[in-house]
Structure 1
Amino acid sequence: MSRHGGFSEERTESLFGLFSGFIDGRDGKELFDTFKPKLDGLTPLEVLVMGERLLKAGYSVENIKKQVEKVFNIIIPALKEYEWTEPDKESAVCWLMEENRALAAHMDGMKGKIRELSSLEPSSVAYSSVYSSLKKDFRRLAEFEPHYLKTENVLFPFLEKHQYFEQPLKIIWSLDDDIRTVIKEVNSALDSADSLGIEEHVIIGRLFMLMMRMTYKENLVILPAAAECLSGAENTRMLSMFGEIGFAFVEPPACSSGSEEQAEYTGGLIKMGETGVLTVSQLVSMLNSLPVDITFVDENDQVRYFSSPKERFFTRSPAIIGRKVQNCHPPDSIDTVNRIVESFRSGSKSEAKFWINLRGRLLLISYYAVRDGKGHYMGTVEATQDITEIKELQGERRLLEWDQD
């Protein structure tokens, strides 16, 4: 598949020395002269392994990101010489490459419009027309999000199952987040301006650099390494998962969802199809830890389960297990309960929501139809949640801010 072979410990250590030297502030020319000759024949897999070693050595993602473009510029020639066979369209890796090509074409068109604006008078009708079209192009960049979601939530986990990796591509994920942030900043800036000024050009330039350099990193490093590491069966499975997330800038391929895996209980474990494995204790404790009252009624309208959250909104007693749901409601609401259940059973509806004020709290009461993988009705789940504080939320509070109260 490759001219140079997949992995060399000597080249990997040389690249580590080059990269860590830049982070540590050593002389750039000295680093280049020392390590560049040792990087001939560098492979994508070696680049990824080196990145993992930087993290294990204690270098932070932020410090690595500050030097990544400098090092990447040095190794691009070697990576471009690396020979590998691009996978066919039955492969998940192929579709990530197709999306990158589509993104490059879209951004080339945007560059043309930016050049056109430079030749037009900002007060002219022609300028306004091109500028409006360009803003739409920039807003569309947000639609590339499924591509990043697929790499982060499908490709990365599959790579982690292979011998070379434990925590690969954290740096790439962080760069993806930078792209997301700058896309929002660019769109906000363009919506607030009537023309492209210096500030708009600066932030647009940063976005173009981030997105196009990411396609380079994927096409020259991540995707060739993935093609080497992942089997055909893994690629096929990944492609079915891609279909659930969606595709960006390309016509979606026909993705098989694969055979449906039913949950089963064996050896003290509940196998939840493809979504995980839990012990009974874990499942019960998890459901009871949620700040939600959950009640499940089966296909015969009999109550089969209710959770035990720390704070309960409505009275529940074990005596209701096996009871008809119609007998758990006052007479004046039975007709509505029956109509909801029948609409779920027939498939005409799948949810019903109500909200009430109770003891000074605003409660959201939601009913959802429960169906198996083939769409057959299995019952109804009721979830009641206190949304008093939720209703008052404004702005954002991100994960990194959780302990700032």
Structure 2
Amino acid sequence: MLNMQFDIKRMSALKEILLYIRDGGSLEAFQIHYEQHFNDVRPLDLLLMQLELINGDYGVTMEDIKKFSSMHAQLSSQSLNEKDILPANHPVQIFKAENTAFQVVLNQIQQLLQLLEEDSDQAIGDELTEHIFHLGEFHNHYNRKEKLFFPIMERYGHIAPARTVWRKDDRIRALYQALKKQIVRVPLDVERVRMRYTAFEKEFKEMIFQEEAIILPILQKVFSEADWLAVANESDAFGYALIDGPEEKCAPTFEEQTNDTPPAENLVMGGGGYLTTKEAQLILNNLPLEITFVDKNDLFKYFNDITDASEMMLVRTPSSIGRNVANCHPPKSLMKVMTIIRDLKTGRRTSESMWFKMKGKYIHITYKSLFNDKGEFLGILEYVQDIQPFFELPSEVKMGLSELEK
């Protein structure tokens, strides 16, 4: 069935209603228009259409959506029942708690800015800088949304909404980086800090509203209990923002979940003997490399388990298995990623490497195309290595074994 967010006729009707409300339309007239066009539309589809309108180029503002939500709530007779009350360690509750914490810090920043505009005290400037940098923990919040929520949304066929929200997230990240660069400049230009902060705060607060009024309700209508358990189990890998993570985990471990394709007893290795499945798994998980395999259909199919996800150089979690590799990357880097994949598929290049510094380490990444003996493309192998130890090797040649402690 065609997703309702792509129903152009319905989308146009919803936009007309939003513009009607913007111009001060009455609740009674709103009810007539709504029942005429949306009485038979599922709540999920209505939310998806709002998500598309607010993030697309439709001329719809967040204020329009807020007014619509307010009027819609007045017409709705839905009441909260016991099954709607989620436990405190549920991912939805954690996400909302972080948003509440964001609001507190935003208010503190606003107050400090006002004080600084009245009195350019160095101590106030230092405190303001500290709060702005502390707010940077929102990156953890966004990463969980993009790396845990979005892959599951995509499995249910909602790919476009995830991409549009991710683009908005990247814009907010860019605004935050501009704010950070401005706050550390000497001498401090309070007027420019105010300008950068106002631009960031507006879109950041809009995303908070969008998450709570649209995105989380969509997820609650789409995700199964097993999906939420997977999100809860994998959230530690990305960390939390301004709050501590839940003490109790409500999700089973990945190993406890069922697997429709049990491993074979042996894996035959051509030209070099054979390994049992357990032996191969142990070898892969003890290599000093993070390995990822993307199959010929561009699906993320495998990663080795050499360390906890939170300690990985490039975080991978089970929720991403089966995800199209294009959706695993931010929209801003999609063109570069797809160019590399195309070149590896066609044989224009057999491998591609890059390196960068992250958290005090030099990280080296290689993408290598895999072909069988018939020349058929099978997929792409990615391996990631911390090469910092190589920069720290002593100048003399080491030939002997390390001395064991006696």
TM-score normalised to structure 2 length: 0.55
8 A contact 1:152–1:173 mirrored in 2: yes
**Structure 2 Cα separation of the partners of residues 266 and 220 of structure 1:** 47
Structure 1 residues 146 and 308: CA distance shift in structure 2, 3 A:
closer
Q: In the alignment, what sits opposite 1:231?
A: 224
8 A contact 1:13–1:50 mirrored in 2: no
Alignment match of 2:255 (pick from 256, 260, 264):
260
Q: What per-residue deviation string (whole Å, max 9, x for no partner) do you get for residues 62-108 of structure 1? A: 624x5343532432414666755342124212211111111111111
Q: In the alignment, what sits opposite 1:109?
A: 108
8 A contact 1:144–1:248 mirrored in 2: yes
Gaps of 5+ in 2: 268-294, 296-300, 305-317, 324-340, 354-367, 372-395
Q: In the alignment, what sits opposite 2:143?
A: 149
Q: What per-residue deviation string (whole Å, max 9, x for no partner) do you get for residues 135-188 of structure 1? A: 11112222210100111111112122236x243232221111111001111111
**Structure 2 Cα separation of the partners of residues 226 and 108 of structure 1:** 28
Q: In the alignment, what sits opposite 1:131?
A: 125
**Structure 2 Cα separation of the partners of residues 231 and 76 of structure 1:** 25
Identity %: 14
Structure 1 residues 19 and 115: CA distance shift in structure 2, 3 A:
farther
The amino acid across from 1:88 in the alignment is: P
SS in structure 1 of the partner of residue 127 of structure 2:
helix
Alignment partner of 1:121 is 2:116:
no
The amino acid across from 1:102 in the alignment is: A
Q: In the alignment, what sits opposite 1:251?
A: 244
Structure 1 residues 52 and 248: CA distance shift in structure 2, 3 A:
closer
The amino acid across from 2:218 in the alignment is: A
Alignment partner of 1:46 is 2:45:
yes
**Structure 2 Cα separation of the partners of residues 180 and 131 of structure 1:** 22
TM-score normalised to structure 1 length: 0.55
SS in structure 1 of the partner of residue 137 of structure 2:
helix
Q: In the alignment, what sits opposite 2:57?
A: 63
Matches within 5 A, 1:333-348: 335-336=399-400, 338-339=401-402
SS in structure 2 of the partner of residue 67 of structure 1:
coil
Q: In the alignment, what sits opposite 2:196?
A: 203
The amino acid across from 1:170 in the alignment is: R
Deviation at residue 133 of structure 1 after TM alignment = 0.5
**Structure 1 Cα separation of the partners of residues 217 and 155 of structure 2:** 17
Gaps of 5+ in 1: 1-7, 56-60, 293-306, 311-331, 347-405
- Between the two proteins, the alignment pairs up a number of residues equal to 279
Q: In the alignment, what sits opposite 2:361?
A: none
Structure 1 residues 259 and 309: CA distance shift in structure 2, 3 A:
closer
Deviation at residue 13 of structure 1 after TM alignment = 7.4
SS in structure 1 of the partner of residue 178 of structure 2:
helix
**Structure 2 Cα separation of the partners of residues 277 and 334 of structure 1:** 44
Alignment partner of 1:97 is 2:96:
yes
Q: What per-residue deviation string (whole Å, max 9, x for no partner) do you get for residues 324-370 of structure 1? A: xxxxxxxx97835x54xx99xx9xxxxxxxxxxxxxxxxxxxxxxxx
Deviation at residue 223 of structure 1 after TM alignment = 0.9
Deviation at residue 214 of structure 1 after TM alignment = 0.9
The amino acid across from 2:138 in the alignment is: F
Deviation at residue 14 of structure 1 after TM alignment = 7.8
CA RMSD of aligned residues (A): 4.8
Deviation at residue 201 of structure 1 after TM alignment = 1.8
**Structure 1 Cα separation of the partners of residues 214 and 126 of structure 2:** 36
Structure 1 residues 187 and 231: CA distance shift in structure 2, 3 A:
same
8 A contact 2:50–2:214 mirrored in 1: no
Q: What per-residue deviation string (whole Å, max 9, x for no partner) do you get for residues 120-141 of structure 1? A: 332xxxx221111001111222
8 A contact 1:241–1:257 mirrored in 2: no
**Structure 2 Cα separation of the partners of residues 30 and 277 of structure 1:** 47
Q: In the alignment, what sits opposite 1:296?
A: none
Q: In the alignment, what sits opposite 2:87?
A: 88
Alignment partner of 1:158 is 2:157:
no
Q: In the alignment, what sits opposite 2:362?
A: none
Is the deviation greater in 67-76 or in 205-214? 67-76
Structure 1 residues 308 and 63: CA distance shift in structure 2, 3 A:
closer
**Structure 1 Cα separation of the partners of residues 133 and 200 of structure 2:** 12
8 A contact 1:190–1:200 mirrored in 2: yes
Q: In the alignment, what sits opposite 1:17?
A: 12
8 A contact 1:47–1:221 mirrored in 2: no
Structure 1 residues 271 and 212: CA distance shift in structure 2, 3 A:
closer
Q: What per-residue deviation string (whole Å, max 9, x for no partner) do you get for residues 242-280 of structure 1? A: 1111111111113467143799656999876846479xx
8 A contact 1:43–1:79 mirrored in 2: no
SS in structure 1 of the partner of residue 184 of structure 2:
helix
Deviation at residue 204 of structure 1 after TM alignment = 1.1
Deviation at residue 117 of structure 1 after TM alignment = 2.5
**Structure 2 Cα separation of the partners of residues 271 and 201 of structure 1:** 46
Q: In the alignment, what sits opposite 2:274?
A: none
Structure 1 residues 308 and 333: CA distance shift in structure 2, 3 A:
farther
Deviation at residue 198 of structure 1 after TM alignment = 3.4
**Structure 2 Cα separation of the partners of residues 92 and 179 of structure 1:** 22
8 A contact 2:22–2:64 mirrored in 1: no
**Structure 2 Cα separation of the partners of residues 212 and 43 of structure 1:** 27
**Structure 2 Cα separation of the partners of residues 103 and 43 of structure 1:** 32
